[in-house]
């Protein structure tokens, strides 16, 4: 049974929003696009509050971004200066706001696919002429990202449980310790990849050149209309912005 919107329609919407996020540089425009994305998510029954929770996780990264943008962009009105070096300017604030909003739009765009399981995504990619093996591998890789993150966190905990106080270790040694964390994550990834490959082949992955599909969704007229509207809106926003 086909769902509305079709996964391909959602992929196009994601593409439209990420294009806008990357193309627009003005924080006001980006804020407007974010508001549009949130409204669209709400219309689809996906709570915009989830974005807030996601953004909260990246607050450390945002702080670094804001600081880096403030220090590297000294255009506009100067708010804070130290020994001739501009620490905070209106240009820096704008650039920092744009960077944070850009990430927010991309994360919001990704949420459009949050109600699709990986099988639906694989089917959609194959319908878009992506080779099945490639589509499957990409999504398998994406599914492993949280696992890798968890492994990094566990390794960091394990190192500290061996009596290494990261707060008291000098920077040089700290870098050495962080390099240790990479080892179990990479080794774990390789071992897991090998196991998954064996398990997949044992279940006849690629045993036959053609495969059948339990579901092969069709695009409805509503999907075509939604896609056309998304492309037209993106083009209109870009045309207005670059005018």
Partner 1 sequence: MSAFIGLEQVWFSWPSGREVLRGVDLTLQRNDTLALMGSNGSGKTTLGKLIMGLLQPTAGKVCLDGRPVQEYSLAERGRRVGYVFQNPERQFFAASVADEIGFALGFRGFSPAEVEERVAELLAFFELEQYAQAFPFHLSHGEKQRLALAAVMALEPEFVILDEPSTGLDWARKNKLIKALEGIRERGVGYIIISHDHEFCRRLCRSAVTLKGGRLT
Separation between Cα atoms, residue 16 and residue 37, nearest integer Å: 10
Q: Does 187 bind partner 1 (CB under 8 A)?
A: yes
For partner 1, the closer of residues 128 and 175 by Cβ is: 175
User: Cβ of 10: how many Cβ atoms within 10 Å?
Assistant: 25
Separation between Cα atoms, residue 18 and residue 83, nearest integer Å: 40
Stretch that binds partner 1, among 75-83, 100-108, 134-142, 182-190 (CB under 8 A): 182-190
Q: Does 183 bind partner 1 (CB under 8 A)?
A: yes
Residue among 59, 115, 143, 173 that touches partner 1 (CB under 8 A) = 173
Q: Name the phi and psi angles at 33, rounded to 5.
A: -65, -40
Residue among 99, 108, 155, 227 that touches partner 1 (CB under 8 A) = 155
List binders of partner 1 among 92-121 (CB under 8 A). Answer: none
Q: Does 221 bind partner 1 (CB under 8 A)?
A: no
Q: Does 47 bind partner 1 (CB under 8 A)?
A: no
Q: Does 198 bind partner 1 (CB under 8 A)?
A: no
Rounded to a whole number of angstroms, the minimum distance from the CB of residue 188 to partner 1 is 7
User: Cβ of 223: how many Cβ atoms within 10 Å?
Assistant: 21
> Which residues make Cβ contacts (< 8 Å) with residue 44, sequence separation at least 6?
5, 112, 115
Residue among 49, 149, 191, 225 that touches partner 1 (CB under 8 A) = 191
Rounded to a whole number of angstroms, the minimum distance from the CB of residue 201 to partner 1 is 22
Separation between Cα atoms, residue 154 and residue 136, nearest integer Å: 27
For partner 1, the closer of residues 179 and 212 by Cβ is: 179
Q: What is the residue-wise DSSP string for 29-78?
A: HHHHHHHHHHHHHHHTT--THHHHHHHHHTHHHHHHHHHHHHHH---SSE
Stretch that binds partner 1, among 22-30, 49-57, 108-116, 158-166 (CB under 8 A): 158-166
Stretch that binds partner 1, among 38-46, 98-106, 164-172, 204-212 (CB under 8 A): 164-172
Separation between Cα atoms, residue 215 and residue 136, nearest integer Å: 16
> Which residues make Cβ contacts (< 8 Å) with residue 41, sequence separation at least 6?
47, 48, 51, 108, 111, 112
Residues that bind partner 1 (CB under 8 A): 151, 154-155, 157-167, 169, 173, 180-181, 183-184, 187-188, 191
């Amino acid at each position: 049974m086909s769902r509305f919107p079709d996964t391909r329609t959602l992929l196009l919407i994601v593409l439209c929003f990420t294009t806008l996020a990357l193309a627009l540089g003005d924080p006001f425009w980006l804020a407007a696009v974010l508001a549009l994305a949130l409204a669209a998510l709400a219309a689809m029954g996906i709570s915009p509050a989830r974005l807030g929770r996601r953004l909260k996780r990246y607050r450390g990264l945002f702080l670094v971004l804001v600081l880096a943008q403030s220090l590297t962009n000294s255009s506009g009105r100067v708010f804070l200066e130290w020994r001739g070096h501009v620490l905070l300017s209106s240009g820096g604030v704008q650039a920092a706001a744009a960077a944070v909003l850009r990430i927010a739009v991309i994360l919001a765009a990704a949420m459009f696919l949050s109600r699709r399981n990986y099988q639906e995504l694989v089917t959609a990619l194959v319908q878009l002429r992506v080779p099945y093996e490639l589509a499957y591998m990409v999504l398998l890789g994406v599914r492993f990202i949280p696992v890798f993150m968890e492994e990094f966190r566990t390794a960091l905990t394990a190192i500290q449980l061996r009596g290494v106080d990261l707060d008291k270790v000098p920077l040089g040694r700290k870098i050495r310790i962080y390099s240790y964390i990479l080892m179990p994550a990479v080794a774990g990834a390789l071992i897991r990849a090998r196991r998954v490959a064996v398990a997949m082949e044992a279940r006849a992955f690629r045993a036959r050149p053609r495969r059948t599909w339990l579901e092969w969704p069709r695009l409805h007229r509503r999907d075509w209309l939604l896609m056309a509207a998304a492309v037209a809106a993106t083009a209109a926003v870009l045309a207005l912005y670059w005018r």
